[in-house]
Amino acid sequence: MSNKIGRNEPCWCGSGKKYKSCHRDFDDKISFIEAEGHIVPGHKIIKTPQQIEKIKESCKINVAVLDYIEQNIHEGMTTAEINKIVYEMTTDMGGIPAPLNYEGYPYSVCTSLNNQVCHGFPSDKVVLKSGDIVNVDCSSILNGYFSDSSRMFCIGEVSPEKKKLVDVTRECVYLGLEQVKPWGFLGDMAEAVHTHVLNNGYSVVREIGGHGVGLEFHEDPWVGYTFKRGEEMLMVPGMIFTIEPMVNMGKPDIFTDKKNNWEVYTKDGLPSAQWEIMVLVTEDGHEVLSW
């Protein structure tokens, strides 16, 4: 990062204050950490208070949609019905489902069952049945600002093994979250997630991770879970990213369905679970924006 802004010029953050009395010390601190060999965030991914307010409005849709799904999901329902609910609720609230037409994705939501890892296509042929575990991954756009989160649901009588996978994956997210604070590193979060995964005899998907989000659907940084404390990007106030580990009951290996180039499955056919939250790094810790 280069501090080419003059002391008395307006700060890059849009506060209207002079650089020297706004983010200059902050930038100097980041440059120092960068010089020590760390990956640091650029200005582009540090959100202003005004942007954060807009992003939070988008998150309200995402949370409302997932709350509604949580109350209404049931055995016998098709995942196409979930897609319809997501589309209608999101647009009724003035938003747009972010997945729809995103890089050609043809639906408003991802619904991933059992051995499906992510990006499952909603379908009128997929009927939820007792024993299924399903991830519903919602993302919304409101006035150009993005939100993204997902939850797992257990349908009817789920085996203790699958129930544990779902519960442990949620615990992983919250253990990771505890590590989210300014001047720490994404690797601190990753290590906390991965340790809990391994302690339970599971594995984490390596190829697909979380991401910065807010002004775009997917921004820097990429957020993986196989890193160690002190590795990966420095966390600073104003950064927003997702924590969304995909945890496999068996091996970490995955494959993408060649028929549509979207739907991802475990290679060994064993179940996979995922929870996704969207988190803001604050001055003294973090704030969960969408869950």
Residues that bind ligand MF3 (CB under 6 A): 99, 102, 105, 110, 119, 137, 139, 148, 244, 276
CB of 281 to ligand MF3, least distance (A): 19
Q: What contacts 65, CB < 8 A, 6 or more positions away?
A: 85, 86, 89, 90, 138, 140
Q: Which is nearer to ligand MF3, 27 or 276 (CB)?
A: 276
Q: Which is nearer to Co ion, 84 or 218 (CB)?
A: 218
CB of 32 to ligand MF3, least distance (A): 32
CB of 194 to ligand MF3, least distance (A): 19
Which amino acid type is present at position 231? E
Residue 119 binds which of ligand MF3, Co ion, none (CB < 5-8 A, kind-dependent): ligand MF3
Q: In 3-state terms, what secondary structure has residue 51?
A: helix
Q: Which is nearer to ligand MF3, 227 or 241 (CB)?
A: 241
Q: Which is nearer to ligand MF3, 21 or 261 (CB)?
A: 261
Q: In 3-state terms, what secondary structure has residue 56?
A: helix
Burial of 259 (0-12, 13-18, 19+ CB in 10 A): exposed
Residue 12 binds which of ligand MF3, Co ion, none (CB < 5-8 A, kind-dependent): none
CB of 242 to Co ion, least distance (A): 4
Residue 137 binds which of ligand MF3, Co ion, none (CB < 5-8 A, kind-dependent): ligand MF3
The residues that touch Co ion, with contacts defined as CB under 5 A, are: 148, 242
Residue 99 binds which of ligand MF3, Co ion, none (CB < 5-8 A, kind-dependent): ligand MF3
241, 279 contact by CB (below 8 A) = yes
The residue nearest ligand MF3 at its CB is 99
228, 187 contact by CB (below 8 A) = yes
Residue 226 binds which of Co ion, ligand MF3, none (CB < 5-8 A, kind-dependent): none
240, 286 contact by CB (below 8 A) = no
Element (H, E) at 113: strand 110-113
Q: Which is nearer to ligand MF3, 182 or 210 (CB)?
A: 210
282, 182 contact by CB (below 8 A) = yes
Strands 110-113 and 133-142, bridge-based pairing? antiparallel
